[in-house]
């Protein structure tokens, strides 16, 4: 499941872009969820509330902050370099300022379906290339955790006098489960 945010103050642009993204997902049998924001404050608040996105289509000309400032906040204040950012604007004059934010791409309005599809294909290809797959064993058989990446796991290490407890958890796709817990004598 890929989560894509669209942030633009123009309702028509948001609607068109969302339709292009969902059409691409349908055509390629991908699970993509979109969320639309009409202001930079709404997007940034969602990010602060741990609403994570894989990709953001971000208009440069917004109400209070411009999209470049929002991108800088994502990179510098939230320290998030994983979210792909695609800037959209009706003006080319911003292009040189975008390098500070390390965007995936820049699209000129009015948006063109072919260019949006090209960006989505690049995003999917890059996200697949960066995916770390998880394999697990049951008996002598090896299984691939389809759609599960190592990023979905976390563990706790608890040191109690004379004992060491390690618990591995999986959290993803709306579920959380304990995979294994091990207790060792402390050395």
115: enclosing H helix or E strand = helix 113-129
Which class for 152: exposed (0-12), middle (13-18), buried (19 or more C-beta within 10 A)? Answer: middle
Cβ within 8 Å of residue 49, ≥6 positions away: none
- The mean pLDDT value for 7-20 works out to 96
Q: What proportions of the chain, in percent to the nearest 5, are helix, strand and coil?
A: 35, 40, 30
Residue-wise pLDDT tens digits, 15-34: 999 999 999 999 999 999 99
Predicted pLDDT at 60: 92
Specify the 3-state DSSP secondary structure of 79: coil
- For 21, 80, 158, the CA distances from 67, given in Å and listed in that order, are 20, 16, 43
Residue 48's closest CA among 78, 76, 85, 71?
A: 78
- Look up residue 173 and give its two tokens: 């796709």
CA distance 164 to 187: 9
Inform me whether the pLDDT recorded for 106 exceeds 80. yes
In the prediction, which pLDDT does 152 show? 53
Residue 4 contacts by C-beta under 8 Å, 6 or more apart in sequence? Answer: 21, 32, 33, 34, 35, 53, 54, 55, 56, 57
Question: 82: part of which helix (H) or strand (E)?
Answer: none
CA neighbor of 98 nearest in space, from 57, 69, 127: 69
pLDDT tens track for 34-56 = 999 999 999 999 998 877 899 99
CA nearest to 126, candidates 145, 108, 154, 105: 105
Structure-block tokens of residue 133: 């797959």
């Amino acid at each position: 499941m890929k989560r894509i945010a669209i942030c633009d103050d123009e309702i028509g642009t948001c609607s068109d872009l969302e339709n292009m993204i969902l059409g691409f997902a349908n055509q390629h049998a991908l699970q993509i969820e979109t969320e639309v924001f009409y202001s930079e404050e709404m997007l940034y608040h969602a990010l602060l509330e741990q609403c994570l996105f894989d990709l953001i289509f971000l208009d440069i000309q917004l109400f209070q902050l411009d999209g470049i400032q929002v991108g800088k906040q994502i990179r510098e204040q939230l320290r998030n370099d994983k979210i792909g950012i695609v800037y959209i604007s009706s003006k080319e004059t911003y292009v040189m300022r975008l390098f500070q934010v390390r965007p995936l791409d820049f699209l000129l309005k009015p948006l063109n379906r072919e260019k949006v599809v090209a960006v989505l294909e690049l995003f999917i290809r890059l996200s697949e290339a960066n995916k770390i797959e998880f394999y697990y064993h049951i008996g002598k058989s090896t299984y691939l955790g389809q759609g599960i990446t190592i990023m979905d796991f976390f563990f706790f290490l608890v040191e109690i006098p004379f004992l060491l407890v390690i618990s591995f958890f999986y959290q993803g796709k709306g579920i959380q489960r304990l995979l294994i817990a091990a207790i060792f004598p402390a050395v």
